Amino acid sequence: MIIEQIIEKASQKAQGVQALLLTQETSAVDFDNDRLKSAQSSQRTQIEVKVILDGKVGISTTTDLRDIDGVVNRALEAAEFGSPAHFELPEAQALETVKIYDPALLPLQKPEMIRMGQQMMDMIKTYNPEILAGAAVYKTISRVEYANSRGVHYSADHTDFQVSTGGQLTRGTDILFVSQSLGQKKRSVDTEEMATQAIEYFRMAENIAPIQSGDMPVIFTPKGFIALLLSLGLAVDGKSVYLGASPLRDKLGQQIASPNLTLIDDPFVEYGPNTGAFDNEGVPRKVNPIIEKGVLRNFVYDLDTAGRVGAKPTGHGSSRSLTNLVVQPGNLPYEAMLRNIKSGLLVHEFLGLGQGNPINGEFSVNLLLGYKIENGKLVGRVKNTMLAGNAFAALRDITAISREREWVSGPYSWFSGLFPYIQVGKLSVTAK
């Protein structure tokens, strides 16, 4: 097999070798501005080789399965100028059994995918024919193989299914964008429900509600909660911790958020968007509590950063990407959260998220989609409104968490996970 040939050849010179082989086939259907834009299939193959030669790391990639000699030689050459190896390659371990492959996706063909996308757009157009509707349906079948010179050989077959819909409504100078998306590893995405959710956000935006600048309570929808997770994700990254850039670097075991908040990184969620038994460095994955009742429990390390700080790798791969984030639900219904607010803001989506100084928690962003709360009810969409604050201060100021949760994932999401509605005591709102 190709991956064993790579290990054997590279081991003639290198003291350590790992190889990752990815093969995948994707079918994609895209609609834009009420029309079918494309319906196509693509294939992808990639080999990544990492070697440890004389204490240094070399990496090389190729998309040509016949380029075994070339990809190995390039990795060996790169090691001459590579960074020091602060780690050993992992040994073989037992892997958790995970559900990541849905045979029901195999017979799904582009005509049916086109019908699904058209159905979602038709629902949106039936609600309001003035909306320029869009949709996308993606199906991916992939196989991942990992092997290293310490006798490890893992393989896994994955299926992925991503669906999105929404649209744009223009009235004079007012432009409204709404999008809903979901990615899972099984076919059971309810496209009708997705279109219904998009329509609901359009419906709530029918009225424009003026809002006064000031500090006020804010409810983040499950999708809007990503605004706070962005800073947290950067701060628990092992590279930021090692470099001393993380404001949480000395906070393990300390209270950094409201006791209401428990956030778990769970790579074993059945058919979750980022579910898997091992990462791209051959490290078995595990459940990692990030925050337990407000207390910081873990950082996220790859082989290199773990070796540099004397920790163990956490199974998040060379990019240290979080998997499926699961926030434990609260006891308060979402509707009760609304009723408890006399004057506030519901935020769903942002324009330019990531601006400011996100690793330190500072944000000042324009709302792409937000709604005014008045006397316990949503009274309309706000325009030309900015939200500012500090994400870490907001996490400490969580006053309520809903019992309802929704999956957030797909091409427009920074993070994937199961999130509730989150109420923060006060944040600064600026209306132009």
- Residue 357: its pLDDT value, please? 85
| Predicted structure pTM score | 0.94
Q: Taking Cα atoms as reference points, which of 47, 76, 48, 89 lies closest to residue 64?
A: 47
- Residue 92: its pLDDT value, please? 95
In sequence order, which residues have a C-beta less than 8 Å from that of residue 159 and are 6 or more positions away?
100, 101, 102, 105, 106, 139, 140, 141, 142, 185, 186
Whose tokens are 């602060």? That residue is 86
Segments of 149-200 assigned E as strands:
153-171, 174-184
Task: Enumerate residue ranges in the chain where pLDDT < 70.
Answer: 354, 410-413
- Report the CATH superfamily, name and number, of domain 2-204: PmbA/TldD superfamily (3.30.2290.10)
Per-domain residue ranges for the chain?
2-204, 207-432
Tokens matching residue 354: 């990531």
Per residue in 354-412, pLDDT tens? 677 889 999 999 999 999 999 999 999 999 999 999 999 999 999 999 999 999 996 55
Average per-residue pLDDT for the chain:
96
3-state SS class at 12? coil
How far apart (Å, rounded) are the C-alpha atoms in residues 412 and 408? 9
Residue 34, φ and ψ in degrees, nearest 5? 75, 5
- Residue 413: its pLDDT value, please? 66
Task: Give the angle 20-25-27 at the CA atoms, nearest 5°.
Answer: 150
Residue 357, φ and ψ in degrees, nearest 5? -130, 75
Residue 133, φ and ψ in degrees, nearest 5? -90, 155
- Residue 356: its pLDDT value, please? 73
- Residue 414: its pLDDT value, please? 75
> Beta strands 343-351 and 214-220: pairing type?
parallel
Q: How far is CA 170 from the centre of its chain?
A: 30
Other beta carbons within 10 Å of 309: 14
Tokens matching residue 273: 């968007």
- Residue 202: its pLDDT value, please? 96
- Residue 1: its pLDDT value, please? 83
